[in-house]
Amino acid sequence: MSSTTGEASKFSSLTSIHVCYHFSLDEIHSATNNFDDEVVIGRGGSGKVYKGSICIGETSHVVAFKRLDSMSHQGALEFRNEIEMLSKLRHCHLVSLIGFCDDNKEMILVYEYMPNGTLDHHLHKADTPLNWVQRLKIALGAARGLDYLHTGVGTQHGVIHRDIKSSNILLDKNWAAMISDFGLSKVGPTSQSFSDFDISVSVKGTFGYLDPEYFYTRRVTRKTDVFAFGVVLFELLSGRYAVDTRYEEEKHSLVRWAQKCVKDRKLYQLVDYNIRGTVFAKCLTRYAQIAYRCVHSVLKERPSMTEIVASLQLLLELQVKHDNSAESSGKVRFTWKIHKYLVPTTKQKSDQSGSTSSQKSLENHMNLPSSINKDESNQGETMKVATYLKKFTYVELECATRSFGIDAVLVYDDVSDVFEGSDEAGLPIAVQRFRNDNHESFKKVEYNK
C-alpha cells in the first residue's frame, strides 16, 4: 500500500474539473507487490490488469491497475487518449479513472475496482450463469452509458467508443454495467453533438463486433457503436461468443446466425440453454427485434442509443411484471418435458366400481377409461392416482392456446415449442407443438400408461 507523495496533479492537457491523479512508479510497485502475478485479475491484448490498494490522502482505495504492454498495439497516443476521455467523462455506467502512471516507459491506468469482473467472463466462463433479468439490466445499463457518450450530455460533444464488446463491459458490486477501455474512442465536432457525425479513421476494433460499413468505408459514426452493441445484445441472449469456430461454418458468426434465426422466426434457437423457459415470449420477440435492427446493414435503419435505452427499459418492466404476475398467481412453471396430470385422492368415498366421486366426474367429462394404481400401504389407507389420456383435435388445441399465440409460449426448444393453456373444463394443460421437420422426435415421446 502506498500514498501519493504530493498534491494530486491533473494531466496537463485536460480541461475537465475532474481530478486525475498522477501516481509514481514506486507507488504502483508498492500497491501491486512489484506486479506480482498473484494479484493479476485479467489479461488482454494490451497487457495485464492487477488488483491492489492505494492511498489518496488519508483514504485507501481498492483499485485495478491496467499495465500496458510495451509491445502492444495500444501505444502512447491511445494511452493519452484514454486518460483524456475518462478524465472528462463521468457517468454511473462508465468506469471511473482514478489516475495514471507515465514513468520510466511504463504506461499504467488506475481504475475503480469492479468486483464482478467482465460480462464476457459471466457469459462464457463463470460456473453460475446470469439470469435473464440480470442480463436485461446489464444491457440497459451499458446502453445508458453509451447513450451518454453519443449525446454528449455534460461533455458538450459526442464520443464514439469504437470498441464495444462484452469484455469491455465491467460489472460492479451491484452487477451494474460499466463501459471501459476508451483507448480507441473518438470525439465528434461540438457543433454536431446531437447529429450523426462521422469521422474518417483507420479501422480498429475487435473482430466479430466490427461494423462491416465501418470496415469498408473507414467512416466511423455512432451507428458503428450501435452495431457492436447489437452483437452484445445477441451475446446476452444466446450466451455465445461473437465468433465461434466450434460450430459449423454458417454459425461461426453470431450476427449472421442470429439474423437468420430472426428472419426464419426461430427465436427459440437463440435463447441460451441456461435461461430457457424464463424469458417471457413477448419480451423475447421485442428484444430480438431491437438487436436485429442494431446490426442492420443499412445505417439509417439502426436505432439510436436513446431509442435502445427506452426500448430496453420497457422490456425490463414487461419481464418483471410478467414474473411478478406469475409468482403471485402461483402459475406453474413447466419443465422441458410434458407431464401427465395426476389426480391423487385419499380417504374419499368410492362408489361400487371402486372409483371416487371426483375421479368418476372426470371420467364422465372426458368420456375416457382410467387406469388406477393402488397402494394398500400406510395403515390400510388407499392412494388412488388416475391418469387420463385424451386425444385432442387441432381446433381444440388452437382454442386452448389462443391459436398458439406468442403470449402463451412457455418454452422454446430446438425440436418444439411448449404452450400453456386450458381445456374446455378449465383444467390447465401444456401443449408441446413439434416442428414440421421433427416427426421422429414426436414418435419418440414416451407416455407411461
CA–CA gap between residue 74 and residue 86 (Å, rounded): 16
Q: Which contiguous run of DSSP H or E holds residue 123? A: helix 119-124
C-alpha cell at 207: 473482430
346 touches 382 (CB < 8 A): yes
155 touches 89 (CB < 8 A): yes
Contacts of 12 (CB under 8 A, 6+ apart): none
120, 147, 163, 417: the catalytic one is: 163
Residue identified by cell 452493441 is: 229
CA–CA gap between residue 314 and residue 307 (Å, rounded): 11
- With the C-alpha atoms ordered 370, 371, 375, 380, is the resulting torsion angle positive or negative? positive
For the chain, give me the number of helices (H) and strands (E)? 12, 18
CA–CA gap between residue 348 and residue 260 (Å, rounded): 56
Ranges of beta strands (E only) in 154-266 are 159-160, 169-171, 177-179, 186-187, 198-200, 219-221
171 touches 114 (CB < 8 A): yes
Task: Identify whether 103 is a catalytic site residue.
Answer: no
CA–CA gap between residue 222 and residue 7 (Å, rounded): 38
In terms of C-beta distances under 8 Å and separation of at least 24 residues, what long-range contacts does 33-40 make, across chains too? Answer: 35/67
Nearest one of 381, 355, 226, 359 to 301, comparing CA atoms: 226
Residue 271 sits at φ, ψ, to 5 deg, of: -80, 125
Q: Which residues are catalytic?
A: 163
